[in-house]
Amino acid sequence: MTTIRKTNSLLHSFEVYFSQFERSLNGESQTGWHKLRKKAFQRLVENGFPDRKHEEYRYTPITQRIEKALQVFPEFDLQKSGDKQPDISAYLPQGMKANVLVFVNGIYHAHLSKCIPDDKLHVEELTDAIGDPEVEKYLEESVSHTDSFALLNTAFSTNGIVLKVSRNQIIQNPIYIIHITDGSSNNGVIQPRILTLFDKNSQATVAEVFFSEGDKTIITNAFTEIRVGENATVRYIRAGLENNQALRVSNISVYQEESSTFTSINVDMDGKLIRNNLNIIQNGRGCETHMYGFYLLTDNMHIDNHTVVDHKYPDSQSNELYKGIMANKSTGVFNGKIYVRQDAQRTNAFQQNSNILLSNDATINTKPQLEIWADDVKCSHGCTTGQIDQEQIFYMRSRGLDEVQAKTILLHAFALDILNHINIEELRSMLDLKVIEKLNNI
């Protein structure tokens, strides 16, 4: 197959890397967990890394970019660089009360993390959670993931966490997960892994926020799995605030049970190349899903959002709104898939993608996609690409605003449509300030 042939060199690097990894495991290499890792790696070898002919990656040359970035393949022990003790408060929004969990270079740091006792949040490191049949079951399921990067994460999974919210439990304060990528000493690949389990009737807000330091190339290959139990309500916020070196692929896999509600808000404003795969499967009747996204691209940034919502059972709904602004020489990509399976009668699904291009060197590639096998459904999608409404600009100018002000106000309003869905006030203000700062510099 062409895919394998072309991505051979990267695969080969990872093969070497994998055997180093296996050696480092010593006696652990015969455990059930490691058998799963091997299986995942084998599947990765079969699939190869996606090249540009791969439909899911046609607009995002991620494999080539990683290959280029890793010309000198990193030492295996890059994880050592995480020994530094960062000042966590620098990464927290002012005045926020939250359960804070900290990852440095993909490794969970319990001693840096701090939970609010009243919330009784259950956090366990993956190595300790192995043996829990539920955790093992989900780990095994992840071996059949179709995305090569998700498989890569599973193949190298070591230091993730399992987050559990038990039945009827309501977590009052947000769960705030900070990822700090430290590229001050080494190049490397890091693979944070998070499994979150929300039991029946539980309720919580989770945020994952990515930061980076240093100018070495660190490739983040994140995998987050969210299991939303029956009638549970989960809000999930993901924000990227890395520097312009960041290369990040994220797989967020969500499974919703009957009558559950899941809301996702994804904001990306930084990084060199970001790819988000948000896959949501509705595993029961009466599920409700909301997906919001905002991307603001400057310079040579490349941000790609792929979302899937799979309606498998009747009486469910989904609602998606992704908005983006592309400036300078940046490239935005959006692909939203809505599947409505044969049994998913009376599904309502709406999808909208709106884009503004601010430069002729900027590009947006968008593919809103509907696939429907049920007849009693209401589905629609829309997609617009344009520039700022000149009439509105004119109106504001005639009221005394200058053109830059007018533009900034309009673009800011465009962003607020999404940011307003973030229910952690402090995080929202932080992101909002960042939007304003970026808009002022365009």
Residues interacting with other proteins, by CB under 8 A?
Answer: 55, 59, 342, 345, 355, 357-387
Minimal distance, residue 103 CB to other proteins, in Å: 36
Minimal distance, residue 85 CB to other proteins, in Å: 46
Minimal distance, residue 77 CB to other proteins, in Å: 42
**Contact residues for 227 (Cβ-Cβ < 8 A; gap 6+):** 138, 195, 196, 197, 198, 254, 255, 257
433 to 241, 324, 412, 427: CA distances (angstroms) = 12, 17, 10, 10
Which is closer to other proteins, CB of 181 or CB of 347? 347
Which is closer to other proteins, CB of 144 or CB of 380? 380
Minimal distance, residue 369 CB to other proteins, in Å: 5
Which is closer to other proteins, CB of 387 or CB of 440? 387
Number of CB atoms found within 10 A of residue 97's CB? 12
Which is closer to other proteins, CB of 374 or CB of 410? 374
**Which pair of tokens denotes residue 355?**
């884009």
Integer Cα distance of 41 and 36 in angstroms: 9
Integer Cα distance of 308 and 343 in angstroms: 18
Amino acid present at 198? F
Residue 189 near residue 223, CB atoms below 8 Å: no
Measuring CA to CA, which residue among 240, 233, 325 is closest to residue 288?
A: 233
Residue 348 near residue 377, CB atoms below 8 Å: yes
**Contact residues for 94 (Cβ-Cβ < 8 A; gap 6+):** 426, 430
Q: What is the DSSP string of 415-432?
A: HHHHHTT---HHHHHHHH
Measuring CA to CA, which residue among 324, 323, 334, 337 is closest to residue 379?
A: 337
Minimal distance, residue 271 CB to other proteins, in Å: 21
Integer Cα distance of 287 and 262 in angstroms: 8
Integer Cα distance of 287 and 281 in angstroms: 10
Minimal distance, residue 439 CB to other proteins, in Å: 16
Minimal distance, residue 55 CB to other proteins, in Å: 6
Which is closer to other proteins, CB of 30 or CB of 360? 360
Integer Cα distance of 211 and 426 in angstroms: 17
Which is closer to other proteins, CB of 65 or CB of 367? 367
Residue 226 near residue 236, CB atoms below 8 Å: yes
Which is closer to other proteins, CB of 4 or CB of 372? 372
Beta strands in 61-160 (DSSP E): 99-104, 107-108, 122-125
Q: What is the DSSP string of 259-270?
A: T-EEEEEEEE--
Which is closer to other proteins, CB of 138 or CB of 350? 350
Minimal distance, residue 362 CB to other proteins, in Å: 7
Minimal distance, residue 389 CB to other proteins, in Å: 10
Minimal distance, residue 80 CB to other proteins, in Å: 43
Residue 24 near residue 76, CB atoms below 8 Å: yes
Residue 311 near residue 344, CB atoms below 8 Å: yes
Which is closer to other proteins, CB of 166 or CB of 369? 369
Minimal distance, residue 310 CB to other proteins, in Å: 14
Which is closer to other proteins, CB of 265 or CB of 377? 377
**Which pair of tokens denotes residue 284?**
């029961």
Which is closer to other proteins, CB of 131 or CB of 382? 382
Integer Cα distance of 330 and 326 in angstroms: 6
